[in-house]
């Protein structure tokens, strides 16, 4: 699939306002600052792609993009959080929306979960993995900003994370990723193709 030809479809505050639940979609999630926007920009070659998700007041929206001009194959930018400024009520509402989306979205084929390689498996990440497991939703973890570590430590982190994933019996897998170096892009594209062409 041609990820360089992605187009913004719509933003939705909750599941009820999402595009029709037909075709296939893959969602991207990550704690804020994990490198989600950079990854989506690197994948699509378009730095304007994730602008809405960075606009203050719009950070809680679910953003939908069509792939290769086909609205039946979509990428979804899920809201991430992690800034202490978010009030608890807002955070809880947000969590309810994310959980609901993962459990009930029929067209959802897989979840890309982004973690900064220097701080993997945060509480947010564990929560997302928990929900994914409940929904029996496959997950690809991207250990982002891999260029920030030397090769040895980066591989060590990957192996440690993979070890922790063994309990999930293959539902969740992990790879290295660097938006800056383009590392892991082909691997990611291969996974997305498999999910979106299901």
| Position 37 contacts ligand GDP (CB under 6 A) | yes
Q: State which residue, 24 or 49, has the beta carbon closest to ligand GDP.
A: 49
Closest approach of ligand GDP to the CB of residue 177, in Å: 7
| Position 138 contacts ligand GDP (CB under 6 A) | no
Instruction: Please select the residue that binds ligand GDP; options are 7, 11, 33, 173, rule is CB under 6 A.
Output: 33
**Pairs from 121-130 (Cβ < 8 Å, separation ≥ 24):** 121/161, 121/164, 122/31, 122/82, 124/30, 124/31, 124/80, 124/81, 124/82, 125/31, 127/95, 128/29, 128/98, 128/102, 129/168, 129/172
Closest approach of ligand GDP to the CB of residue 28, in Å: 9
| Position 144 contacts ligand GDP (CB under 6 A) | yes
> Which residue has tokens 């699939």?
1
Instruction: Please select the residue that binds ligand GDP; options are 91, 148, 155, 156, rule is CB under 6 A.
Output: 148
Name which of residues 179 to 198 contact ligand GDP (CB under 6 A): 179-180
What is the signed CA dihedral for 4, 180, 120, 35, rounded to 10 degrees?
Answer: -60
| Position 63 contacts ligand GDP (CB under 6 A) | no
| Position 122 contacts ligand GDP (CB under 6 A) | no
Q: Which residues bind ligand GDP (CB under 6 A)?
A: 30, 32-38, 80, 144-145, 147-148, 178-180
């Amino acid at each position: 699939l041609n990820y360089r030809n992605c187009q913004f479809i719509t933003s939705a505050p909750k599941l009820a306002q999402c595009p029709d639940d037909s075709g296939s979609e893959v969602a991207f999630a990550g704690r804020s600052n994990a490198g989600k926007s950079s990854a989506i920009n690197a994948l699509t070659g378009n730095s304007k792609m994730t602008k809405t998700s960075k606009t203050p007041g719009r950070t809680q929206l679910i953003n939908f993009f069509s792939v290769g001009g086909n609205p039946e194959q979509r990428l979804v930018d899920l809201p991430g959080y992690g800034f202490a400024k978010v009030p608890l009520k807002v955070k809880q509402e947000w969590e309810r929306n994310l959980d609901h989306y993962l459990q009930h979205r029929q067209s959802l084929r897989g979840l890309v979960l982004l973690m900064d390689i220097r701080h993997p498996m945060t509480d947010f990440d564990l929560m997302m993995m928990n929900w994914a497991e409940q929904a029996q939703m496959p997950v690809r973890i991207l250990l982002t900003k891999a260029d920030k570590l030397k090769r040895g430590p980066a591989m060590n982190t990957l192996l440690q994370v993979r070890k922790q994933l063994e309990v999930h019996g293959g539902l969740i897998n992990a790879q290295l990723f660097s938006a800056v170096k383009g590392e892991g892009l082909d691997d990611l594209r291969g996974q997305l193709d498999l999910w979106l062409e299901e």
